[in-house]
Structure 1
Amino acid sequence: MKNYIKHVVRIFFALFFPLIISAQEHPSLLVTKANLPALREGVKEFPLLKNSFLDIQQSVDDELINELLVPTPQDAGGGYTHELHKKNYQLLLNSAICFQVTQDVKYLNLSKNILTAYAEKYQDWPEHPKRKENHPSGRIFWQNLNDCVWLVNAIQAYDLIVSELSSQEREIIEKDLFIPMAEYLMISHKAVFDKIHNHGTWSIAAVGITGLILNKPEWVNKSLYGSALDKQTGFLKQLDELFSPDGYYAEGPYYQRYALSPFVLFAKALHNYKPELHIFEYRNRLLAKAIETVFQTSYTNGLLFPLNDAIKDKSIKSNELILANNIAYSDIDTNPTLLGMAKRQNKVIISDAGLKVARDIFLGKSKNFDYKTTLIRDGKDGKEGGIGILRHGDEDTQQTLVLKNTTHGMGHGHFDRLNFLLYDNGFEVFPDYGAARFLNIESKSGGHYLKENNTWAKQSIAHNTIVINEASQFDGNVDRAEHFAPTHITLYDHDTLKYVIASESHSYPQTKISRALITIQINELKKPLIVDVSYIHSDNALKTVDLPYYYIGQVVDQRKKDVEAKVSLHAFGEKNGYQHLWLNSSYALQSHGDYITLLSNYKFYKVHFASQSPHNILNHVHLGADDPQLNLIPTRGIVLRQENLHEAVFAQLIETYGDINPTDETISDANPAVKNFKITPAEKNNFNISFEVGARVFQLETDLTDNIISNIKIEQL
């Protein structure tokens, strides 16, 4: 009886399936049937589209001679089966693209064979034998997330070739692969499907796009409004909760780059299939802002600011951002500066959007991307802190300061509020460590985050921020950090004076911390001066207050010439990241006139120090203690320390000068211009900082309101 019913269902499916599919034209996602002739001609005519396609075609041609392998999944990230299944979904999509552009049946057959091979095996695979900690596993990969990514790519390939398949081939692929896979993600892993997190975004995008292609409106609705259809989860809720009004994503630029891919892909599918939703207009064109924002959170060398868990070499050239940029220009806003970004990316996606971008670049419509001095707000209502970015100069030599005071960033967040970074002349000078991870290097913790990500990279001392009593902010507790959001960050932008001020009052008990980064352009100096001021006020006695400055380069000079090295190396502390720092040397700083000079990328960076504290110590440290597996990347820094106080002020002035040519063995402009940098006591509710350039004296007036820095003024005395 069971076999009879099954036979009847097969006959029904074979008879009526063509009627269902004929209601939809395919391809219908990134490539649409109506634009196919123009796309095929554009590949011949527009250089950026042509070169992008030839790269894809070559990658597929290289695989055509190889045997198709679809092994039983067994390896974690970076392992053999993991990488092979990943390569297969990329090959699947790329071969489908090649078929539609060239109409060569060999590419069609390859895509069809891959889908059929997975359809034959998928339902026989159990849950993956390995599991990434704290995340549910998939069937193909060791975490559910990767299965979602596989399906997002596979359904795009299916859309490209489905019109060329027989009804029987479609039935096998849909019934034995896409339907059980989507239901597995939506039902068996309902918790992920309903999660407000990038894993949830990938899950709903996978199910939602598959639902659109397979004409499953209930899947689409659940992807939009959550599995209970109560609008408490789902795509729209994720757009509401995970992005600020400025388009900043809670987990930081690295994960914003990653999460934009499913957001943009599903939005594009909805734009094509359900235009009545006006999805690209949602929340005042939120996705367009998110794409602009992720580019603004990069330096002019293309690298994203490595905030929170971030792999430091991820750049604007990642495939996710090429996709996002193309869709933004084609479907949301034909802003010519997005074409300038596309030129920097030097690649487009082979799609309707990629065609439009490549054509308009060919027609000379592009303008350089506008890197701005800007404040990017965080929090769904824009009232939970943010990131301040101060920029000066031309793109290739730009000075960029970043002050971070955002929400924690969920599980990928670091305890680093009031952290700062400095880029200059095309490189990092005072960097952030980013994540402790060797992505997909199986011998290094299976390619996953190293244990040092928790013991070092997330800890406050690993960042250029204030650390009190050798404890991380919120005692390293994610739930507490998530509960308390920063509220205060302001930015002032003038031709010669720019500053960003931020404060934090929850990270340490009964303690308020504020920090101001100030840039001052003085005519005779090539680069603006940077003044970095931190004010700490506590109701409690503070044993130690530390401010690290991690740098890339070499110390070439300092005020104290006879620094004594430690007789033997020992760790700077016992826990909270301090156990990973070797202490090289320490000495007391003077109240003013103290400095250290760094050489970084053929420029000098002289850091002047000023203090009111009688216990002000400079510690030279380097990273690598308590690291028997040599997991940590060698890093040098100084840690400024003040001791035994209720109130502390840290004031530094960073002066950039000099040009070194190692080829010609010449040095020019090698003399610093600033002198007599000091803190001047003033009234109870403020303090002043002064310095001299030549015969002129400059004074910064720093107002304190409610024990935080609230305003900056500058005058020439």
Structure 2
Amino acid sequence: MTYKPLLISFEEAALLREDLGKDTLMGKALARDIEKLEAYMAEVGIEVPGHGEGGGYEHNRHKQNYIHMDIAGRLFLITENQAYRDYIRNLLVAYAKVYPSLELNVSLDSNHPGRIFHQTLNENMWMLYASCAYSCIHHTLNDEERKLIENDLFQIMADMFVDTYAHDFDIIHNHGLWAVAGVGICGYAIQNQALVDKALYGLKGDSVSGGFLAQLSQLFSPDGYYMEGPYYHRFSLRPIHLFAEAIERRQPEVGIFAHKDSVIKTTTYAVMSTAFPDGTLPALNDSSKTMDINDEGVLIGTSACFGRYDEDANLLAMAAHQQDVWVHISGKKLSDAVAKEASIPAFNWGSLFVTDGPNGDKGGLTILRHRDTNNEDTMALLWFGQHGSDHQYHSALDHGHYDGLHLSVFNKGQEALHDYGFGRWVNIEPKFGGRYIPENKSYCKQTIAHNTVVVDRKTQNEFNTALAESRYGELHFFKTDNAEFQGMSGIVREYYQGVDMQRSVLVAKVDGIENPLVIDLYRLITEDEHEYDFPVHHKGQIIRTDFDYDANTSLKAMGPDNGYQHLWQLAQGKVQNGSLVSWLHGNAYYSLVSSATNGGEVIFARTGANDPDFNLRSEPAFVLRQKGKSHLFANVLETHGYFNESIEASVDARGKVASVEALGMDAVASVVRLHLIDGQALTFAVSNQTAGKQDEAHSVTFNGEAYSWEGPYAQL
């Protein structure tokens, strides 16, 4: 059989060549890659550094080498520029000459080291991309060059993964995905089918205990969700799509794109559909706040799904947002489709419930989306899935956060109620070697760092990974048939001993109020007395309150542990029947209007306490504090007005909701009343019944007033 490049054929390269110099997405991608590669080749040339500190020069040079080899491989086939071929050949030969004599690197944590990187994950990535590049120039090399590169580089590298580190090769985990994809693509590149088979079917060959097919079958929920969250999920898309493309081209009989009901499409869509309207990915578990749909994995997935599955309008919208495509025949197909459209609306994946767990039975997340007539998007996300830990892979790599029933809200082009994300200095070697900072555990993972209730100033599930992994939430209701009045609700049980929690969120468009209201009813069920803290993490400047507070001239931390030690207590004020806190963020005003029962307290705080190395970002929060037994936090987030300092404009700085009253709560329902500044009163009810009864008729009486409705929630 004639040797063929792995991911792009000679015929496809000729088609891509047609976009050179064109003002298409593909043309722009090619121009960018050519400029990037030419600059790197001129600046660096052929350099194979030795060992260095994690995240340091040597690490990044090895990384940039494989990135640019991969670019050079495709560009050689497309442009036929011999310099790109020579660059790959010379760099691979340089690596092959030193690789056999390199000792294992020094691991900086619990990960196993490679010969050029501190952890094998990076070496898997190097092998995958370098193998793709090698396949693009294989037909131009002589036998001696092939023998050197294959025997003294790729084969030794692959043997390390399948033999030396065999105990990790079959792990069902995102690191495992990179391992099998790297070995499989390498096997195809050097024509070693035995390596490919190990990568496809696992070391035992059963497609269950390990291998790519097992990864695809076991790693994701039926809705495609990955337990560690979108940040790690998007990282898995690259090896999935690159290996799948190679499999389809070399072994189409495997039917990889149809495997497990087209799980590759399902899991790719699961990442895309959780994105905020500005393209950023929500911070669930350890997550970067800057990660968005321009990530390489999502970019490849957008083009690949358009080429291998459906020509979905949302994929066109994704590409228009990304302003980029994968340099591949699928990317050209998508680029051509975008070029034919006069205008493309912003992507809108709609409201959705995504299950968690391999069988879809370990909770999940719900998202409500509302797009108004001005194409302004509001999105609310409620999280109640399983603990996002890869504890099964290694106890030291627990990426899970303890934040059941966390809520994020996005509108006016920004995250209004936000999550801190992870505490990590990525590839900035002077600051902790690019690793997770100590405050990731002491603050970022703690419940107080999220928008969910903290009981007795403790973290959910006792900050115990094994305990957290044994629990997960459940969907209470999810109803989106009326785009102007949508609702979602989740329940977690025993995350605090003796306390069950139910959170119900309604997104309601109300006449006379410009933006949808986010009505948030957080119910705590217990027979014991507790202190409840409801943290609200926001950005921007506090504008006003409707209660008095005392600012602290001498700062102290809010508490000694469980994340409280990292929050400066800036001010505090007592409240009787409720509270209103308003702030300005960007060009919009936000007001959180809250009920209070038997008085309460509002505490203003900011991160940065007990942080001697200045690792934490300085961000504001305020905490609603209540004491009692079973309790209902009734809150309304109103987005209102417009602010533009450059033209000295401020409109509707004060919202329409004046106060919120919790009328009553029991095992059947919770009922609240919103009082507007014009004297109107709006009454809302949600069902607290389970086992399907939440869809039935409800009737409750609180303080002598009867309320009746049918369904999980209603405006009465």
TM-score range, shorter chain: over 0.9
Kindly state the Cα deviation for residue 213 of structure 1 after the two structures are TM-superposed.
2.4
Q: Which residue of 2 aligns with 1:549?
A: 536
Structure 2 CA distance for aligned equivalents of residues 506 and 427 of structure 1? 33
Q: Does the 8 Å contact 2:487/2:713 carry over to 1?
A: no
Q: Does the 8 Å contact 1:32/1:352 carry over to 2?
A: no
Structure 2: unaligned runs, 5 residues or longer = 390-397, 695-710
| 1:48 has 2:34 as partner | no
- 1:24/1:591 Cα in 2 relative to 1: closer, same or farther (>3 Å)? farther
Structure 2 CA distance for aligned equivalents of residues 683 and 309 of structure 1? 36
Q: Deviations over 1:307-357 (max 9, x none)?
A: 211111111111221111111111122223212211211112222212212
Superposed counterparts of 1:379-528, under 5 Å: 379-393=357-371, 397-410=376-389, 411-493=398-480, 494-528=482-516
Q: Deviations over 1:92-135 (max 9, x none)?
A: 11222221112121111111001101111111111102x13121
Q: If the length of structure 2 is used for normalisation, what is the TM-score?
A: 0.92
Q: Which residue of 1 aligns with 2:594?
A: 609
Superposed counterparts of 1:309-320, under 5 Å: 309-320=286-297
Q: Deviations over 1:212-261 (max 9, x none)?
A: 22222222222122212232222122112221111111111111111111
Q: Which residue of 2 aligns with 1:372?
A: 350
Q: Which residue of 1 aligns with 2:581?
A: 596
- What is the one-letter code of the residue matched to 1:560? F
Q: Deviations over 1:622-670 (max 9, x none)?
A: 1101100000000110111122x33121111112211122122122233
Q: Which residue of 1 aligns with 2:213?
A: 236
Q: Which residue of 2 aligns with 1:655?
A: 638
Q: Which residue of 2 aligns with 1:620?
A: 604
Q: Does the 8 Å contact 1:405/1:489 carry over to 2?
A: no
Q: Which residue of 2 aligns with 1:7?
A: none
Kindly state the Cα deviation for residue 615 of structure 1 after the two structures are TM-superposed.
4.8
- What is the one-letter code of the residue matched to 1:678? E
Kindly state the Cα deviation for residue 432 of structure 1 after the two structures are TM-superposed.
0.4
Q: Which residue of 2 aligns with 1:218?
A: 194
Superposed counterparts of 1:198-209, under 5 Å: 198-209=174-185
- What is the one-letter code of the residue matched to 1:213? A
Task: Give 3-state SS (helix, strand or coil) of 1:227's partner.
Answer: coil
Q: Deviations over 1:143-176 (max 9, x none)?
A: 1100000011001101111011111111111011
Structure 1 CA distance for aligned equivalents of residues 316 and 74 of structure 2? 23
Kindly state the Cα deviation for residue 91 of structure 1 after the two structures are TM-superposed.
1.7
Out of 134, 144, 149, the residue aligned to residue 173 of structure 1 is: 149
Structure 2 CA distance for aligned equivalents of residues 152 and 420 of structure 1? 38
Structure 2 CA distance for aligned equivalents of residues 683 and 58 of structure 1? 65
Structure 1: unaligned runs, 5 residues or longer = 1-22
Task: Give 3-state SS (helix, strand or coil) of 2:684's partner.
Answer: strand
- What is the one-letter code of the residue matched to 2:247? L
Out of 584, 606, 613, the residue aligned to residue 570 of structure 2 is: 584
Structure 1 CA distance for aligned equivalents of residues 71 and 234 of structure 2? 21
Superposed counterparts of 1:115-130, under 5 Å: 115-129=92-106
Q: Which residue of 2 aligns with 1:151?
A: 127
Kindly state the Cα deviation for residue 707 of structure 1 after the two structures are TM-superposed.
12
Structure 2 CA distance for aligned equivalents of residues 30 and 672 of structure 1? 55
Structure 2 CA distance for aligned equivalents of residues 359 and 267 of structure 1? 23
Q: Which residue of 2 aligns with 1:529?
A: 517
Kindly state the Cα deviation for residue 191 of structure 1 after the two structures are TM-superposed.
2.5
| 1:570 has 2:540 as partner | no
- What is the one-letter code of the residue matched to 1:434? G
Percent of aligned pairs with the same residue? 30
| 1:324 has 2:308 as partner | no
- 1:65/1:499 Cα in 2 relative to 1: closer, same or farther (>3 Å)? same
Deviates more, 1:311-320 or 1:148-157: 311-320
Structure 1 CA distance for aligned equivalents of residues 691 and 129 of structure 2? 53
Q: Does the 8 Å contact 2:571/2:603 carry over to 1?
A: yes
- 1:405/1:246 Cα in 2 relative to 1: closer, same or farther (>3 Å)? same
- 1:640/1:709 Cα in 2 relative to 1: closer, same or farther (>3 Å)? farther
- 1:698/1:327 Cα in 2 relative to 1: closer, same or farther (>3 Å)? same
| 1:668 has 2:651 as partner | yes
- 1:671/1:625 Cα in 2 relative to 1: closer, same or farther (>3 Å)? closer
Q: Deviations over 1:165-218 (max 9, x none)?
A: 111111111011111111111111112211111111100000011112222222
Structure 1 CA distance for aligned equivalents of residues 454 and 666 of structure 2? 27
Task: Give 3-state SS (helix, strand or coil) of 1:43's partner.
Answer: coil
Q: Which residue of 2 aligns with 1:678?
A: 661
Out of 38, 62, 74, the residue aligned to residue 85 of structure 1 is: 62
Count of aligned residue pairs for this structure pair: 687
- What is the one-letter code of the residue matched to 1:250? M
Task: Give 3-state SS (helix, strand or coil) of 2:688's partner.
Answer: strand
Kindly state the Cα deviation for residue 621 of structure 1 after the two structures are TM-superposed.
0.8
